[in-house]
Structure 1
Amino acid sequence: MSDDRITEIPAIEVGDPLVDLYSHGISAEGRQLVREGVADRLAVADSFLPTGVRLHVVEGLRPLRLQLEIYNGYRAELQRLNPGISDAEVHVLASRFVSPVEVAPHVAGAAVDLTLVGEHGPFDLGTPIDTTPEQSNGACFFDATNISREARTNRALLADVLTAAGLVNYPTEWWHWSYGDRYWAFMEHRDHALYGPTEAPVPAERF
């Protein structure tokens, strides 16, 4: 995500509102907000799954302050693990797993972290969501080979339906899929992103 080819892509806001995934029939952890264009595509992907299998979203929109906290925390962890690493090197390492706030898809409401679930609970996708490359020996990478055959099959199913619906995967995180952000624009050879950073509306006070 630190690649200049991505960071220099402009975001020309199309104005899609934030919507609650529940309103689109998507299973989610609590109230998860995403851009309407993302929600529409997740609903399409969900409909492509076999009977009894559903997408389950763990996180959608992420506040800017939280994105910054996560990025800084992971950066500090990498500095502890790699004494003497330069600021530029740690930025590149950190950015392969946690997006800098200026390009982060989650803060634009353009990305989701998700998995597959069935009647007996979550499917095996190889690692828990948010497991770092250091914690998983790289098994969090979508194309990792150090996972079970079942996990590889489940990742392939996830990719089939989400790609068909127009989303793209960030390859260091099997669970991270997006539409309309700068990384999506880069992967889809678009000259601009559709969504820039946004914040959830503050509920009006009741008197």
Structure 2
Amino acid sequence: MKPYQKIQILECGEPLVPIPLEQFAVESPHPYEKLGAPYGDTSPYYLRESVIAALISAQAELQQRHADWRIQIFDAYRPVAVQQFMVDHTFAEVVQSQKLDPDTLSDDQRDVIIQQVYQIWAVPSPNPKTPPPHSTGAAIDLTLVDATGQLIDMGSAIDELSPRSHPDYYVNQPDKPYHEHRQVLRDVMYSAGFCRHPGEWWHFCLGDQMWAWLCNQDNPTVSVTARYGRVAHK
């Protein structure tokens, strides 16, 4: 169990609603759908109502700073079944990259690889007290694009399983623009009330367990609870 999963959830019942995609740049087709992730009749481009309002505010703040830039949505709502699919997919990628035979892996090898996978993927827990963040409709993976729709270079890809995914990986490399670009994304999202995943430059949340835990880390004198738990797309 990760520390943020100990945070109490007091579900507020706010609906999961479609993101107004015309206001943002969008990864299309959706990257996990291309891999065959089992969304069924659900859509990844949904969030809780207040989270969308905050995202729109973050976009407005970005355009005050960089008039021609836009937030690009990579991923938002993610059913637990999709979380499991992506964990399995990433596990298989790691096995292949290490030139291992998936049929002859020892238990120790499996444990080492799954711990690598869980560095960036939450456990696809069926327990309503420990939902994967994206299954709450309160977590979103983002990057930025310029006026031509070209990605702003962040120095690594979303979901990259490497140290470069850490938000501050490039902090001591002022000759590269990557940290500055990551800070722009962070600052506009923070201005709207989001928190950033400590290990992923692209992952932001508002109202879920991770958000509450990060708020409590920043201000130990208060005790924030999560207001969004796992939700089924309707």
TM over 0.5: yes
Among 98, 108, 122, which residue is 2:121 paired with? 98
Among 181, 188, 192, which residue is 1:165 paired with? 192
Instruction: Name the counterpart of 2:59.
Output: 46
Q: Give the secondary structure class of the aligned counterpart of 1:58.
A: strand
Instruction: Name the counterpart of 2:47.
Output: 34
How far, CA to CA, are the matches of 2:27 and 2:94 in structure 1?
29
Q: Give the secondary structure class of the aligned counterpart of 1:193.
A: coil
Instruction: Name the counterpart of 1:204.
Output: none
The one-letter code matched in structure 1 to 2:76 is: G
Structure 1 segments of 4+ aligned residues over 3 angstroms from their partners: 72-94
Q: Please, what TM-score do these two structures have when normalized by structure 2?
A: 0.73
Among 168, 173, 181, which residue is 1:154 paired with? 181
Report the CA distance between 1:91 and its aligned residue: 5.5
The one-letter code matched in structure 2 to 1:195 is: Y
How far, CA to CA, are the matches of 1:104 and 1:46 in structure 2?
25
Alignment of 1:18-167 (within 5 A): 18-22=16-20, 25-29=23-27, 32-49=45-62, 50-75=66-91, 85=108, 92-102=115-125, 103-120=131-148, 121-133=150-162, 138-145=163-170, 149-167=176-194
How far, CA to CA, are the matches of 2:111 and 2:214 in structure 1?
24
Q: Please, what TM-score do these two structures have when normalized by structure 1?
A: 0.82
Report the CA distance between 1:90 and its aligned residue: 5.7
Conserved in 1, the CA contact under 8 Å of 2:117 and 2:161?
A: no
Gaps of 5+ in 1: 202-207
How far, CA to CA, are the matches of 1:88 and 1:118 in structure 2?
41
How far, CA to CA, are the matches of 1:122 and 1:20 in structure 2?
24
How far, CA to CA, are the matches of 2:124 and 2:192 in structure 1?
26
- The RMSD of aligned alpha carbons is 2.6
Report the CA distance between 1:76 and its aligned residue: 5.7
35-44 vs 75-84, greater mean Cα deviation? 75-84
